[in-house]
A and B are shown apart, each in its own frame.
Chain A
Amino acid sequence: GEDVEQSLFLSVREGDSSVINCTYTDSSSTYLYWYKQEPGAGLQLLTYIFSNMDMKQDQRLTVLLNKKDKHLSLRIADTQTGDSAIYFCAERKTTSGTYKYIFGTGTRLKVLA
């Protein structure tokens, strides 16, 4: 498909793990990203993964990449109420020597106390 796809909503209990999934479009995309957006604010980079990796861990965050299926996931361990936000995956595509970032629809994570 032409769109980066994410499910729109996810609800978890505080202390549980959250897994947010994403399907991207271009198998030649070299960098894939996860951003977090709090209400009324811009996007904050959480982490990124280079396409020659299949996993990256950064404190409570684990990114898994399946290049064959063009599938990216973000796991948040010990989810806290402060993790409630919209999470966007993005791929960096190269078009005519320029870089463009293509974003998914965003997954709204709600953490229940």
Chain B
Amino acid sequence: DGGITQSPKYLFRKEGQNVTLSCEQNLNHDAMYWYRQDPGQGLRLIYYSQIVNDFQKGDIAEGYSVSREKKESFPLTVTSAQKNPTAFYLCASRSQGARTEAFFGQGTRLTVV
């Protein structure tokens, strides 16, 4: 079945280490997004990509980096520069066609200790 897969579901890292979160989709969607979710703050946009080899910063890009070398993959790296990285991270994708909504993965909960 088509969908968006985020892995791992839970991730623990020591403070000061970089960590990469995986997001893969087999929906043939062009656009992909990364959001961060904190309690009571909803979803905030980190980075988004409309097409392969292109991406833009969202509202809270500092301390994060992404790449979009393949259409189906949009990994997010949380660097040591991110001051408060513990959060729930959600990846989404959207087709360029008539269907307009964003489809979400199941999320990765990152805990930095």
Contacts and interface: CB of A to CB of B under 8 A. Distances in A.
Contacts of A103: 35, 42-43
A102 B103 CA distance: 14
Contact of A43 (B56, B90, B94): B90
Kindly state the interface size class of chain B when it binds its partner: 20 to 34
A43 B102 CA distance: 9
The B interface is mostly helix, strand or loop, or mixed, namely: strand
Interface string B33-66: 1010000111101001010000010100000000
B104 A44 contact: yes
B95 to A, nearest CB: 11
B75 interface: no
Nearest to B56: A98
B42 A88 contact: yes
Interface residues of A, number: 25
Interface string A29-62: 0010101000011111100100000000000000
Contact of B33 (A6, A101, A104): A101
B48 A43 contact: no
B78 interface: no
Contacts of B92: 43, 101
A42 B102 contact: no
B14 to A, nearest CB: 23
Given A40-B107, A43-B90, A101 B102 contact: yes
